[in-house]
Chain A
Amino acid sequence: MTELSTLAGTDSEAVEGYNFAFLDEFTKRELRRKILKAVAIPGYQVPFGSREMPLAKGWGTGGIQVTLSIIGKSDVLKVIDQGSDESVNAVNIRNLVSRMTGVKTTSDTSRATIIQTRHRIPEEPLTKDQILVFQVPFPEPLRTIEPSEQVTRRMHAEQDYSGMWLHLYEDIVKHGKITIGARYPCMVNGRHLMDPSPIPRWDVPRLHKSPVLHLFCAGREKRIYAIPPHTLVEPLEFEDYRFETEDFCGKVCERCGSSDTFLDEIIDDATGNPRYLCSDTSFCEKRQRGEDV
């Protein structure tokens, strides 16, 4: 016990009375072990003992537990919610981690060492020194076609993904194209089918052979999985119906003028017309300031 608590140390800026990074050291150790296993088997969902956190399950408890278990005092944290640093969920998670660890926080993607994200990957290219932590609502990509956990685990074990392919085939027959928007199923390392969390299709190709360590965690569903750096991530596609990212038909961001970013469509209350803005606010601000990103 004493050995473990000395590992953690204390921090002057962190709130007194809590262990460093809120979780006790045994919990952090368990999480790290599970993260290592997840990294060793890319795309495989590793069960873990999800703890009660000071926010409701389904609001990012998985992402927080991973962040808290890997964060050190020299880390710089960024938290985004659908690309925004300023949403309530992002602000509260950032404040919690900051108060429990005393680490620096930032909204600047390039300065962050750990980025916890809900449903987006930052537009700026990431580097090998950064870790992306995803909040995952539904870790099981096969759940849409098979309700039983026992069966889906067996399907993964046997790499039996024909049911998912059939699902895509039926989609094409009914709608003329694959209609999956977010949570597009991907094959990781040619072995496991993985749910990339509800990131838009726009972000899916950016997981492929990325230099970044991606950690996914679902607190409610108690699963951790990972895409290690430089791993193959291939969205399911047919030879004659390829995977496609969102097409904004030449629309540009109203604020920064970008045409190469993922745009949010916002209906103007006054005029009723759609407006288009970058989903990644930090990136948009950098562009507006004229920085080269």
Chain B
Amino acid sequence: MTPTPASAPALRVNNLTKIYGSRCPDCIENTGPDHGRNVCPACGSVVACANITFEVMPGEILGIVGESGSGKSTIVRCLHFDMEPTMGAAYLRCSGNGSDDANIFQLNSQEMRAVRNQHLGMVYQNPQMGLRLDVTAGGNIAEKLLAAGWRNVGMIRDRGGLLLKRTEIPLERMDEAPRNFSGGMQQRVQIAKALANDPDVLLLDELTTGLDVSVQARILDLIKEIRRSTDAAMILITHDLGVIKLLSERTIVLKDGRIVETGLTDQILEDPQHEYTQLLVNSVL
């Protein structure tokens, strides 16, 4: 039975693995939560993540939690082509361009850029990575649109204004550089930029970390609003179980670069099965 397009996952990730270093055949066997390490004792390679397999449906928010160094960011950086995975495949259900079957890691760099510009949105923990701080807020959004082939300044500005309004940036600051903005505002500009091309998949890497609680709340509200109004699949990386509880339906728990538990968020928080998840839940709640 072939799934109808509406029920097909927006993103399928299969066996994603990223290893730094010389690599030996035993790297993956020698590391992981059972060994309590991600450095291979035989060759010293760092297994950032291994055998990561999951799916995200359109309109769904998938949470990925885990402690610092567990490989959370590596997964989204690979999916955003910021780094090259060692192994694995990812398939994107792009709105009708026929490339559903193509492993996006096998594309050439020009095609990767096209996928990134047209189908992906990324919000980094640090706005400096996602924004050009010396280019105006409107220009940062325009960059995505220009890369996707927009060539009309009026239309670009209309779209930019709309997105900034939606992310609660006052329009009169559209032509100001984000360098002058507060951290929370920079983060909202980054979200506006990520939304510029109506992405199919939105990658959110620790987007509220380091912001004060009231600003966090407004950004989380914004994400909820985006979920209501778009069909974008979201991958939410965080170490904050409160954020996961508030936003995501399903959650993956990561430890030493492996998925140790996956399931409905409520289930994971109420009835954690894996030892590490129990520790994680107990230490927060």
B26 at the interface (CB under 8 A from A): no
* B contact residues around A160 at 8 Å (CB): 110, 113, 147
Which listed residue (A159, A163, A173) contacts B175, Cβ 8 A? A173
* A contact residues around B110 at 8 Å (CB): 158-160
- A172 with B153: in contact, given A165-B146, A166-B143 (CB under 8 Å)? yes
| A131-B108 Cα distance, complex, nearest whole Å | 38
B215 at the interface (CB under 8 A from A): no
| A166-B196 Cα distance, complex, nearest whole Å | 15
Q: Of the listed stretches B12-20, B55-63, B131-139, B255-263, name the one at the interface; the rest are far from the partner chain.
A: B131-139
* B contact residues around A169 at 8 Å (CB): 139, 142, 146, 153, 156
**Contact assessment for A162 and B135 in the assembled complex, using a CB-CB cutoff below 8 Å:** no
A26 at the interface (CB under 8 A from B): no
**Contact assessment for B147 and A162 in the assembled complex, using a CB-CB cutoff below 8 Å:** yes
A238 at the interface (CB under 8 A from B): yes
* B-side interface mostly: helix
A241 at the interface (CB under 8 A from B): yes
* B contact residues around A129 at 8 Å (CB): none
Task: Report the nearest B residue to A162, measured CB to CB.
Answer: B147
B152 at the interface (CB under 8 A from A): yes
* A contact residues around B113 at 8 Å (CB): 158, 160
Q: Considering only CB atoms and an 8 Å cut-off, how many residues of chain A contact the other chain?
A: 17
A239 at the interface (CB under 8 A from B): yes
A225 → B minimal CB distance (Å): 21
Task: Report the nearest B residue to A174, measured CB to CB.
Answer: B175
| A239-B155 Cα distance, complex, nearest whole Å | 10
* A contact residues around B147 at 8 Å (CB): 160, 162
A240 at the interface (CB under 8 A from B): yes
**Contact assessment for A240 and B154 in the assembled complex, using a CB-CB cutoff below 8 Å:** yes
Contact with B along A128-167 (1 / 0, CB 8 A): 0000000000000000000000000010001110110110
B109 at the interface (CB under 8 A from A): yes
* B contact residues around A238 at 8 Å (CB): 151-153
A1 → B minimal CB distance (Å): 45
Task: Report the nearest A residue to B152, measured CB to CB.
Answer: A239
**Contact assessment for A166 and B153 in the assembled complex, using a CB-CB cutoff below 8 Å:** no
**Contact assessment for A166 and B152 in the assembled complex, using a CB-CB cutoff below 8 Å:** no
* B contact residues around A240 at 8 Å (CB): 152-154
**Contact assessment for B135 and A166 in the assembled complex, using a CB-CB cutoff below 8 Å:** yes
A170 at the interface (CB under 8 A from B): yes
18 A-B Cβ contacts within 8 A? A154-B109, A158-B110, A160-B113, A162-B143, A163-B143, A165-B146, A165-B151, A169-B139, A169-B142, A169-B146, A172-B153, A173-B138, A173-B139, A238-B151, A238-B153, A239-B151, A240-B152, A240-B153
A-B pairs, 7 with minimum CB distance:
A162-B147, A165-B146, A239-B152, A162-B146, A158-B110, A238-B153, A166-B143
Q: Which residues of B contact A (CB under 8 A)?
A: 109-110, 113, 117, 135-136, 138-139, 142-143, 146-147, 151-154, 156, 175
Q: A166-B143, A173-B138, A240-B152 are in contact. List 14 more A-B contacts (CB 8 A).
A: A154-B109, A158-B113, A160-B147, A162-B117, A165-B146, A166-B135, A170-B135, A170-B136, A170-B139, A174-B175, A239-B151, A239-B152, A239-B153, A241-B153
